[in-house]
Amino acid sequence: MGDLSGQTYLVTGASRGIGREICVALAREGVRVILLSRKSSDLDQTLAEVRAVSPESYATPCDLGDADAIENAVQAVLARGVLLNGIVHNAGDIHPIKPLLEADVADWTRSMMVNLVGVQHLTQGLAAILNGEHRVRVTTISSGAALRPLASWSAYCTAKAGLDMWTRCLAEEGAQHNITAVSVAPGIVDTAMQTTIRSASEEDFPLRSNFVGYYEEGQLSNPVEVASALLPLITAHTNEQSGQRFDVRDL
């Protein structure tokens, strides 16, 4: 990975799960980490752990489903006047878990915001500290759902498929600005999202028993191990890899 001391990375969905562990792993490599997540005690605890090894790191509360919150977060980050060396777009929302023709339009729209539109909004807002001669690496956390339609996951599947293409577009356009972008599917990880999936009703989500089985059979990956596997790709992916989609199980 090389020496990452003095670099700055922004991570969304930073308070729990994979996002939390990526923040901690980056901090231990000497990276200044900007933690974006909705305000919570989990965010406070993650920030405390990160700052114990990377004192210049800080958190900015942000709900990617809220355009005004994104604007506020952008202005807070820009005010620091520090160039970004990388972004990890990790935040995601599985809601609504409902049949496509029954899902509430507002819930479907929020899923598009959190999982896709908010990614564009945030990245575009930070353009001033991305463009320049310095190298910038952008990583988006994808999903198997980007490739495979799953009943009652229409919003999530659609948004993640769109996010993969967004990553490819950024890689294409970013090449002239020294910006590279990759997407990576983390597999089935033991996070709060999996808890939400197992809590869905059989009526709303016919595949619920499959995910209960994954959990009971110990098939879920540990977020710490996933973050460790992702770190080299996040911090050292090459120009030749830009635009590609990876699976953590192949890293």
Q: Which residues are tagged catalytic?
A: 156
Spell 208-230 as b/e; 16+ CB within 10 A means b: beebeebeeeeebbebeebbebb
User: Side by side, which strands form the sheet with 32-37?
Assistant: 58-61, 32-37, 8-12, 86-89, 136-141, 179-185, 245-247
Q: Which residue, among 77, 174, 79, 165, has the nearest Cα to 115 in the 3D structure?
A: 165
State how far the Cα of 57 lies from the Cα of 126, in Å rounded to an integer. 17
Residue 75 CA neighbour count, 13 Å, CB half? 6
Distance CA 131, CA 123 (A): 11
